[in-house]
Each structure stands twice: as C-alpha cells, then as structure tokens.
Amino acid sequence: MDLSNKIAIVTGSGQGIGKAIALKLAEAGAAVVVNSRSEAATAVAAEINGTGKKSTAILGDVSSAADVTRLIEQTLAAYGKVDILVNNAGITRDNLLIRMSDEEWDSVLNINLKSVFLCTRAVMRSMLKQRSGRIVNITSIAGIIGNPGQANYVSAKAGIIGFTRSIAKEVGSRGITVNAIAPGFIDTDMTKNIPEKQRQGLASRIPLGCFGTPGDIAEAVAFLASDGARYITGQVLSVDGGLL
C-alpha cells in the first residue's frame, strides 16, 4: 500500500492501537500528525521522524471543539491538506448501569463518540474542497454485540457505527469514503489486566485461538486509507479473529 504524499491525522495515537496505526501509515509513506492528550504523542512523532518519514505531534483533547479546531488548523498550516483521518481516541470507565455515575457516562461518550463528530466535521470542508478523503473510525465488536458493565462504552461504539454509515452517504458523491473497523480482543493496555484464566477462556472462543495485536488493526486501517479501497464505504470491518 502506497500512501506517499498523503497527510494523515490519527487521534489517540500516543500508545496502543493508535500508535501502531500512526507507525503503519508513516511506513506506507504518509506524513502523520500524531495526536493525544499527553506527551506520548511527541515520542511517537520523534520515532517516526527517526525513520526518515515525516511526523508532527499536536497535543490536545479531541472531545474539545477548540482543541479539535486547533488540531486541524495546525495540520493544514503545516501540510496544506488532510487526506486521511483516523478517529481512534477512546477510553473506558466500566461499571454496572445502576452504579454508573454521570461522569463515567459523559467522559466515555465525549472521548469515544463526540470526538468522532468533532474531528470529522472539522476536516470535512477541506476534504470536500479537494473532492477526496479517507475517514476510518475505530469502533469495537462490543458496539455490535453489547457487553455487561460497559453501557457507556458500547453506546459510544454503536454510535460510531451509525455515524459512519450516515456520513458515508452524505459525502460519497465527493470522493470521500467513511468506514469503521471493529477490533475484537487486542493486546493493549486496556486488556493487559485481564486475569490469565479469563484470557484463556476468551481466547478459546476465538476461532483463530488468540488475541490480536495493534498491528493487525493498523494493517486494516492502512488498506481502507489506500486507493485500493476506493470503492469501499459505509462498511464496518470486524478484525476479531472470527469471534463474531
């Protein structure tokens, strides 16, 4: 996959799946804007630059409209366009519904879903003008099948699926594709604290027999961001080892 001369923004890319996506897009030739709320973004951008590829770190909270506006404006000022947007930023605040606080609900919906709306809206004028663009939203198989103790997370991830399908229909005539990837169980900081016995039980339900890696998700993102996926839009691709 050749992403030479493409400009990509990856939200929540200071670690985990987001970092793997940023590294993969850079490897494929894109200049990558690495975004997170922490200085981890700076380290990822430095790692990419160290390989001879181009990268810029722009820190900010993508649930904040002001921060998102700054993210897009600085990207356009530095590179002149945005070809690829990967809405990856996400958090969990798990709890049973009866015990879930307003803050646990709001923080997850804001980071996981509102950020997708804000970032997509912010890049849309530029993409519409250039009559091209690739938007890839990271949802979850939880948004398809549900999960007890995650009403907030599942609602946000299910919302991303509906958003993806709606916006794909809005902007398809202008050469912009909008797709989603639904990871299954992936080895990240979010899953590392699962007790080993429970991990084995979960792995036994996966036809391929193991958890995936962030690189598995990154490969799928790179494909959907490429010219090879030009006729794919409004789709949800489950990368889950066959779990669903």
Just list the catalytic residues.
Answer: 153
> What is the number of other CB atoms lying within 10 angstroms of the CB of residue 131?
11
Look at strands 31-34 and 55-57 and give their pairing.
parallel
Instruction: Tokens for 51, please give them.
Output: 């390989």
Nearest by Cα to 162 from 113, 230, 105: 113
How far apart are the C-alpha atoms of 181 and 166, rounded to whole Å? 15
Look at strands 7-10 and 31-34 and give their pairing.
parallel
How far apart are the C-alpha atoms of 17 and 20, rounded to whole Å? 5
Chain position carrying tokens 């990822």? 44
In angstroms, how far is the first alpha carbon of the chain from the final one? 27
